[in-house]
Amino acid sequence: MLERASTIVVPVDFSAATVPLLRTAANLARIYGASLHMLHVYQDVFSVLSMRTFDLSEDVVEQVMLREIEDRCNTVLDEANIGAPVERALRKGETAEEILTYVKEVDADMIVIATNARSGLEHFFIGSIAQRVVRYATCPVVTLRAATAE
């Protein structure tokens, strides 16, 4: 078991597993007396969808997305009711890469992440974010099976 931790990062995707994941991370933060950082990584909407065909401004779309993300952050933190301060961080980019970069930036001692339920071809082609984080993280990673968390 990790002897001490001062910073715990919990990446969230706003799935049904998010609230139980936050509660688990908050319990670990209380045990260690650590600060808790909730991180959400979002994708560049213009690389995912061809919104340019709708003649929308990238800045306008991103601002709408950021407001929605902020609302979701507030909602999950209210539902989790963890009773402790939580640092919030938003990053845009490839999810696993951004998680690992953020962990290094804040010198995290632990990551608490949910695994997904992908299997078969979907897992083969898309891969697992949690798997990549576990493989390349420079600190311990606690995984919570999403199906169990729900």
Residue 46, pLDDT score? 58
Q: Where are the alpha helices (DSSP H) in 83-144?
A: 95-105, 120-126, 129-136
Q: What's the pLDDT score for residue 146?
A: 74
Mean local confidence (pLDDT), 4-28: 95
Cβ atoms 39, 60 nearer than 8 A:
no
What is the spatial distance between Cα 39 and Cα 45, in angstroms, rounded to a whole number?
18
What tens digit of pLDDT does each residue of 38-73 get?
A: 999 998 765 555 545 555 677 778 888 899 999 999
Question: Which domains, from first to last, does the chain contain?
Answer: 7-149 (3.40.50.620)
User: What number is the average pLDDT over the span 120-139?
Assistant: 76
Q: Which one, of 108, 76, 122, lies nearest residue 6 by Cα? A: 108
Give the pTM: 0.84
